[in-house]
Chain A
């Protein structure tokens, strides 16, 4: 994927509609939504439940496909990729951080971080080195042998961020990353995400309900009923 310069468009949703059918009833989650996100920026998506925030992340990451419109990331038309191309593209360019951390419970912190690196041609030693480096960035080098159950919520989320970082993605998609954390842990995680934008040039889309989390972002996009309600200016 060509890497846009900071300030150029990294993510573009153009007239995107997404409809889910549940129990035979159609539910319009996104309604002809347009959204632009610049490279190297930190955007917070806020809004009530069901407003389509997480769906945007799924579409940008190629986990879901729009019913109408297009999703472009770094100039790549995501919904035009085949399932295999999409998997490879996702592995190389996009990383997820979830509210529920979503670590594999049977693996240690280091193994969780190493997991996506299995998709690269790196040797075992190189993978381990990169995983340890990512854990150092999030300040958990001393917890690499711990399993998720042995970590606090904040530490689990930092391991999840390290896992996201390990692949050196252009775009990080964070779905309420502080939703399950206490204030102190949440501030730590938000500080870490901010640093990744400022120091490593990552583009972050973060879904959050937390106003304080929104303040860390460069820009807040407020959604309601599948459309953009208020779009803050880029900081």
Chain B
């Protein structure tokens, strides 16, 4: 037996109360982990962005297309190693609730410029060779049960076919992403295929491309190349706004408002509520155990004994709850990646988040256990026995 054992027995002397406390801590820690992970997952897309890539878009709006001729012109500019177009397709798969992103792109350029998109070589080749082919992220494939060779029918909302038919794409590859700046819930297809249908007059929709991604040649800085591109198109026909890939990613996050502050406020409120809950539990426990603390004093235990017992008890309850909350947060990543889908496609719980949440929980345990502990430590044994009688 030890004081730790006694603290454990004390902690479970009221199993329902203890279970409720553990449950409350679990939920709170899980929630704090979840909220923080949303912020870190969004940030990760920014921090993981390549420093040698820039994104060229319309200076008017992201929803304004650039002429496709820009792809060639930009590709020939000094300091540009490669360029790739990305055109937002906005198709609907079966129903509106199945929303995911689709982009028309230049497959060979995309493969060269995005080493973080990983696929077997034969799948890359099949994608490049099939004009109607596409690749999908593995999370997206898992979500809809797609496999190589399947056909994905999309109803065009921006690009509508005159015959009312669906656009169909053949899955030639399922990619995974090695970095947070590329999600695994997107479908990429040949821009050329889209353009051909438009050129034939079989469908309506904006011509051009949404953005161009540019890879900077060695020896050139993104700032210089960005300036060169924007200067070149300063007089039109469509003015451009060129920014680093990280800034481009960040602009999507800023569309959500000041999310970190908003989520941080909720997280802080959860922690404050948790703190009061644990203080309440520990204060009730301390009141019930005044006599036991007097007994320990009468047996010869020093004043640090109640201090250690209450802190241990709080640490046990909060520690157990925190462990469950952390396990839930860790174990539910796949589920949340699926549920949050296109909003936060690369949702993940970092080790830093787990450690920070665990430390915050233990600090709360220390404070919540410390209040009754210090009160008990100040009480003389004789007084504790009298009060507890």
- Residues of A participating in the B interface, judged by any CB pair closer than 8 Å: 58, 61, 63-64, 83-84, 87-92, 94-96, 98, 100, 102-107, 111, 114-116, 118-119, 124, 127, 163, 167
Of residues 363 through 389 on chain B, the ones whose CB sits less than 8 Å from some CB of chain A are 380-382, 385, 389
- The contact string, 1 if C-beta is below 8 Å from chain A, for chain B 292-306, is 101111111111000
> Which residues of B sit under 8 angstroms from A116, Cβ to Cβ?
299-300
15 CB-based A-B contacts, threshold 8 Å: A63-B380, A63-B385, A64-B380, A83-B302, A83-B303, A87-B300, A90-B298, A90-B299, A102-B295, A104-B6, A106-B12, A115-B6, A116-B299, A118-B1, A124-B1
| Shortest distance between the CB of A30 and any CB in chain B (Å) | 14
Task: Select one of B1, B10, B380 contacting A115, CB under 8 A.
Answer: B1
Q: Is the CB of A106 within 8 A of B382?
A: no
Number of inter-chain CB pairs below 8 Å: 72
- Secondary structure dominating the interface of B: helix
Q: Is B109 an interface residue (CB 8 A)?
A: no
Q: A63-B382, A111-B1, A114-B1 are in contact. Are A106 and B10 (CB under 8 A)?
A: yes
B:270-295 near A, CB below 8 Å: 291-292, 294-295
Nearest CB on B from A73, distance (A)? 14
Whether A102 lies near B300 (C-beta < 8 A) is no
CB pair B380–A106 under 8 Å, yes or no, is: no
**Chain A neighbourhood of B302, CB < 8 A:** 83-84, 87-88
B178 at interface, CB cutoff 8 A:
no
Tell me if A102 and B385 are in contact (CB < 8 A).
yes
B73 within 8 Å of A (CB atoms)? no
Q: Which of B1, B10, B299, B382 has the most CB of A within 10 A?
A: B299
Q: What residue in chain A is nearest B297 (Cβ atoms)?
A: A63
Q: Which residues of B contact A63 (CB under 8 A)?
A: 297-298, 380-382, 385
A64 and B300 contacting across the interface, CB-CB below 8 Å? no
Query: What residues on B are CB-neighbors of A104 within 8 Å?
Result: 6, 292, 295
Distance A105 CA – B10 CA, assembled complex (angstroms) = 9
